[in-house]
Each structure stands twice: as C-alpha cells, then as structure tokens.
Structure 1
C-alpha cells in the first residue's frame, strides 16, 4: 500500500507539472494572440469548437478509460483500439469536410468553410496517439507527458504568434491547434516506442464496448453541452460576443481543467486499485475533496473578484466585456474538481450506466436553464450555469453515495469552510484595493486575499494547512 501511495504522489506531482506548465504556456500564447487578433477571430474558432470536440469524443469512444481500468492489456487489444480510433477519425473528418458549407451558412460566416476543413485535421492527428497516451497513463508516466506537452506548446505557440504578427489573422489560431497536435503525436510515438499490429480483435472490441458505450454517450452529452453555448451565442448574437464568451470560458477553465485533470487522471488509476476496500476508498475520497477545495477555492475566487483588472492588463480594454462573464463563470466552475472525483468513483466500479443516467438528467436540466435565460442576455445565461453546477453537485453526491458513505450534507461540511473563507477573503481584499487608480497595484489584492485566506484557514484547521505545506515542500525538492 505504501508503494501505491508513493506512486500516487509521484503521479500527482508529474501530472501537476505537466498540466500547469502546459496550460500556463498555452495561456501565454492565447493571450498574445488575443491582443493581436481581437474578439472576432476568437469568435470564429469558438463557433467551430463544438464540431471538433464532439468528433474527438467519438474517436476515443470511452475506450481509453476502458483500457486504463483493465489491469493487463495485450498488444492485440491495444492495436484493436488504435485502428478503431484511426478509422473513426477518418470517417468523421470526411463528414465535417462535406458539411463545411452548411456549417458556414448556419452561422452566416463564409470564412468558416475553409477554416473547419483545415482545423478538422486535428481529429485525425490526435487519434493516432490516443493509445500511446493511455499506455503512459497506465504506468503513471506523467513525466514523459509533461515533456511532450511543453515542447509542443512552445514550438506551436511561437509559430502561431509569428503568423499572427505577419497578418495571418484567424489562421494563426488554426496553425496553433494543428501544429500542437502534430508535434505531440510525433513525440508520443518516439517516447512510447509502440506501434500497432495489423490486427483487430472483434471479441475484445465488443466486450469492451459494453463498458465504453455508456461512457461514450455520457461523454458525448458532456462535450456537446459544454460547447453548446458558443453554438447558441453564435447563432443569436454576433461573432464578437462569441469571442468574449469563448475567451471568458477559456480563462476560467484554465485553472479549473488544469486542477481537475491533475486530480482526476491520477486518482482514477489509484481508486481503481483500492476499489475493493471501500472504507479505504471512502477515506481517500473525502481527504482528496478536502485538500482539493482548500487549494482550488482561493484560486478560482481570486480570478473572479479581480477579473476586470486581469483582463484590462493582459488583454486590453477591448476585451473588458469578458471580465463580466469570467466573474459569473468562476462560481459555476468552482465545483468542477468535486464533479471529477465523484464521477471517478462511478467509473472505477464500472458503473458507466449510472454515469450515463446522471449525464442525461443533468443535460436536460442545462437545456431548460439555457432556454429560460437566453432572451435575457449572455450574463444571465452564465448565471443559469451557476445554478446548474450547484444542482449537479447535489445529484452527483446521490449517485456517489451508492458506493461510499459520503452524503451531500457531509460533502458540504467538508468544503464549506474553504468556500466561505475564500469568498470573504477576496471580497474584502477587492474592496480595500479597488480605490487605487493603478491597475497593476490593484492586482496586489490577489496576494492580499491569498494571505488573508490562508491565515484564517490556518486558525480554523492548522493540520490541513501544515499538511499541504509540507507535502509541497517535500515534493518540491
């Protein structure tokens, strides 16, 4: 067990490094491109996000999670999934290629036809390295993945900025996506040193499909509804508004997805190993929720209360509308790490049927909220997402409670101290700093808020803060 805990911590460390470095580098690239290109260019690509994202979900079809969940996979089984991924990617690309004209007409943006034909190539490229990523994840080799991601972001980012500075416009964003995928795939092949055989095991494929099919439908629903707001805003509002919302969502999801992915990717494998010991799993689940929220809440609420200052400095006055959306979306995404952990519990027990049922119910809810708020404007649509997130957290806890002893009330008792203290800390620091005229000095409120937060939380729970400090200090050596 000690060895497994060591592997978990090592995996967490390198997973964190990979996500943080990659996301930070991508952020720098996107911010530079945003200042050069403006909201409309981002709006054009934002309209197409749903088509690319749904296609990539179909390509994976839940098989990577199925492979990770299994203890022993053979060469033939890996090869089977590889050829399925590749074949599906080719089919979906041709569908998008021939539907490109219809997509551009739907949004009344002629430029989109050529953009999606080129951007769609990432579907095929990414399909080639899904198995390679899976193999590295199974052995908790996040160090290699961190190196691949960083180099890919660095090279593709520099190239896209050069193109943007030379008048490339929206094509610089397209280049950034394609070059990142291509470089990553090449390096995954080199690092993993695995090539598929020309075989396809139908028996294994159909057997695995029983688990992955429910996961696929759930993932499709999740992916579609994660991107439906850009689709709706693009149809009923103008391209610039799509750009504002897309940028707000990207900036808010940066810490959210980075943090959630670190936790989810490592704990999924670890939870799978201890799933037969439910007492141990329950302890690990509650402990992870506690430490995850203690660290995450000050990050997300710091972004919320200082969003206007951050946007003004890094993107410029042209993007200020984005800050209003960021503030609201932070309250929506603050519960996402908890969602990720709850869904991991369902998956490690192979209950993809419950996962699917959960996602269907939540998507009906988000559709109703979107329809109810769309006529009141984009900001109200964002508040609808906040309500959805709160209800979804409650629903997730009901399903998780089928396997663990953690009720929704107990979950609230675990996260409420960090939630309340972070809100008070950053609201107070924002009021104190807001009277300053210099935007850079106002950002000092972030540091003030963090200091106040950890001071108050230390008085509330010394052991938790000490544990986090010593863990970071030890693993930082």
Structure 2
C-alpha cells in the first residue's frame, strides 16, 4: 500500500481506537445496569433492523466511492434514491412490527423495532456522503464522526440506564449515534445535492451496486443469523450472553480491520491494473491486519477467565467459554475484511458474492446444528468451526485474482502464527505458578509476558517485514500527513 493509504488507515484506526475505548468503558457500566435480558432483547431486534438497512444503502456507497464523477446528476440522484429507499423500508419495518404486535400483544419486541426505525432512515442518508468521503480520502471525517457520536450516545445510554429505562437506553443510544454520525459526515463530505433525479445517471453503476448489495445481504445472513436463531430457540437471556461474547471478539475487527477497509479499498482500486503491485498490496495488507488482530484475540481467549468477571460482573461468567470459542471467528472476520476489500476494489464483486454465499451456507449450517443443543457455548463452537471451513475457498479465490499462492500468504503470516502459539505456551507454563496471586495481578503478569513473547517471535520469524513496518510507521510520523 502507498504511504497515503497507510496514513489514512492509521487515522481511521486511531479514531476507532478511541471509539473502542469508550465502548469498552461503557460495556461494564451498561452490562451491570441492564443485565443479559435487555442486551438479549436488543440483540434480537437489531438483526431485523440491520438487514432491512442493507437495502437502504443498495450498494450506492461503494458505487459512489468508485465513481470518477465529482458531482452532478449521479451523486444527487444516488442521494435522493437512498433517501427514498430508507423511507420505504421504514414503512415496511413498521408494518412488520405491527404484525408481531398483532400476533403477541404482550411482546416487547415490536415497540423496540419501532423505536429503532429512525436508524434506517439516517443510515440510508449516510450512504452517499460515506462514498464521497472514501473517494476523496477525507478519512479524518470518519474518525471524528466515530469519536463524537460514540461519546455523546454513550452518555445518553448511561443516563437513561441510571433512570431505569432498560432496553430503551440501548435504543436511544443507537438513534443518537446515527444522528450525530449522519450530521458530521454530511457536513464534511462536500455533498451538495441538487434537485435532480435522473435514473439514467445511476444505471451504469447498477450492476456494481446490485452485486455489492447482494454481498452485503449474504454476509449479513452469515454474521447475524445466529442472533435470530438463538433468540427464537433459546431465549433473550441466552442470546444476551452470546451477543456479549460476539461483541467482545469483534473488537479487533472494529478497531483495525473495519477502519482499514476504506484505505484497503482505495489501495486495491489504485493497483487493480498492476498485478505485481496488487499482489504486494494484498500480502502487506493481510500481514498488517493479522499481526495486529491475532495477539488481541489470542490474548483474550487465553485470559478470558481472569479478564471478564471484573469487567462484566459475576452474572456474565457464562460468557467466558463463548468468548474463547468465538475468538477464532474474530480472526476469520478480520481476514475476510481484507479479502472483501480486495475483490470489490478490483471490480470483482461477483466473485465475492459467490464466496459470501458459501460462507453464509456453511455458517448457517453450523449455527443450526449448534442451536439444537440450546447452549450458547456449543453454538459459539459450531460458528467458529464453520468459519474455519468457509475461509479456505475464499483464500484460494483471493490468491487466484492476485496471482499468488496460498502457501506464500501463510509464509508471509508466519510471524503472527508462531507468535500466537508462543503466547499459548507461555500462558500454560506460567498459570500454575501464579495461583497464589490476585486475579488482576495474574492478568497483568500474563498480558505483559504474552505481549513480550509475541513481539519477540514476530521479529525473529520475519525480521525483514518487521523492519519494513517500523520504517513505514516512522516515515508517517515524520511526515505527519495532513488529510483533507
């Protein structure tokens, strides 16, 4: 990747780091106030909202990001179209909530669905501004929007939870978050929509948009079907336990892989016609993401029994084995983010769609088998096993389009692979000798030992790559690039 793309990734990662720190500070506070039942109810409703929300975007964000047009009919038409789609989908979701309420007048699900309707409209209106920000590389905008919206919405959630609003604290948190995000991104995206609605200006981009929409739908089913199935078969409380575990293991993806997506997408678009540069960008991006996410997820799995009880409280203890199993899923999701940015960035969304269908089918099968046991721990294990099976063909397809070999990719990733194994060995060697210490003291010792071991192995396994990464970061710090 170029220095410009890497600097953009660092800006986004910094913004998301602040966002994640705030969210992690909120988790123990809200978890203790609300409990698994409220979290489970919100986790049961959100997949329906997010699924419908996919159609509000309709793939327009990525179409705008790849477009060469700076303004005019295409951008304006795409903006009004996304707004109309959002409004229509709000009406559909409201009707669905009415059906749920009619079938069960005592249900708490329908009111929560209605309370989250504004999220649909606001997220739809974000599609075109998001695309403009990605295209112009004004990535500081995303960082600012994430930080401000997370801070303010978190304060709102805490105040409402303290006043016994229950699940509605989470509902209002989402509404405030999306309102602030829409406002900030729209103001700094340069979007100035005109009263123009020409579908013919959008039609050249429809194939790409529809393909990316299909990818989003399939990936959503693969990632969120577990919440729906667990909620309906086992109940909101069990879903709350699983959803909390899933939220924790997604932290590395949200902190690193998610923010990096915009920069990776831009880098792959720039190198799409240069096979050598594309292959190098792919391996570099994969190595960077994996070597950061691996110690976070491996470390969380190894010390979950020490880290989670002080944070979440005793009533969340059952989440520990769920987190340990789902850590594998977390790493697969980080890898999939890089592959997704690659395939869409080079204009091959059809390949990603087929890969996503395979991923969804495999994951849903695993979830269905695990749900028959009515245990969130077994479901977590089934999801992780299914994810490992699903990612193999995806790595193969990515290797084909970049003209590389999967074995070469694994060799490039030898540092984090050996590093994770060393972390496990260090943990198992030290734990028996730390039994007399307080849990938090044990946690601190293990974190320090594992971090040191991982960094040493990372350097020893691939000193050339480690030196290159250090030089790149040092150059960026010296240059202090100013992003518009």
TM-score calculated relative to the size of structure 1: 0.94
Q: Write the deviation string for residues 60-103 of structure 1: whole angstroms up to 9, x where unpaired.
A: 11111112122334322111111111111111111111211444
**Rounded Cα–Cα distance in structure 2 between residues aligned with 1:48 and 1:430:** 40
Q: Write the deviation string for residues 380-414 of structure 1: whole angstroms up to 9, x where unpaired.
A: 22222222222222111222233212222222222
* Contact persistence 1:32–1:161 (CA under 8 A): yes
Measure how far apart 1:417 and its partner are: 3.8
Partner of 2:151: 154
**Rounded Cα–Cα distance in structure 2 between residues aligned with 1:103 and 1:430:** 50
Measure how far apart 1:25 and its partner are: 1.6
Match of residue 397, structure 2, among 399, 414, 419: 399
Cα pair distance change 1:311/1:103, threshold 3 Å: farther
Structure 1 unpaired stretches of 5+: none
Cα pair distance change 1:107/1:403, threshold 3 Å: farther
Match of residue 199, structure 2, among 195, 199, 202: 202
* Contact persistence 1:33–1:164 (CA under 8 A): yes
Measure how far apart 1:470 and its partner are: 4.2
1:442 aligns with 2:442: yes
**Rounded Cα–Cα distance in structure 1 between residues aligned with 2:156 and 2:239:** 25
Q: How many residues align?
A: 474
Cα pair distance change 1:222/1:62, threshold 3 Å: same
1:124 aligns with 2:121: yes
Partner of 1:37: 34
Q: How does 1:2-21 map to 2 (within 5 A)?
A: 5-21=2-18
Match of residue 382, structure 2, among 381, 384, 388: 384
Q: Write the deviation string for residues 340-388 of structure 1: whole angstroms up to 9, x where unpaired.
A: 2222222123222212111122222222222222223322222222222
Measure how far apart 1:225 and its partner are: 2.5
**Rounded Cα–Cα distance in structure 1 between residues aligned with 2:293 and 2:17:** 13
Partner of 2:336: 339
Measure how far apart 1:323 and its partner are: 1.4
* Contact persistence 2:415–2:457 (CA under 8 A): no
Partner of 1:260: 257
Measure how far apart 1:465 and its partner are: 2.9
1:451 aligns with 2:452: yes
Q: Secondary structure at the match of 1:56?
A: helix
* Contact persistence 1:13–1:475 (CA under 8 A): no
Task: Please identify, of 337-346 and 465-474, the stretch whose mean Cα deviation from structure 2 is larger.
Answer: 465-474
* Contact persistence 2:34–2:161 (CA under 8 A): yes
**Rounded Cα–Cα distance in structure 2 between residues aligned with 1:29 and 1:182:** 19
Structure 2 unpaired stretches of 5+: 479-484
Task: Please identify, of 423-432 and 113-122, the stretch whose mean Cα deviation from structure 2 is larger.
Answer: 423-432
Partner of 1:466: 467
Q: How does 1:45-444 map to 2 (within 5 A)?
A: 45-103=42-100, 110-376=107-373, 377-429=375-427, 431-433=429-431, 435-444=435-444
TM-score calculated relative to the size of structure 2: 0.92
* Contact persistence 1:397–1:407 (CA under 8 A): no
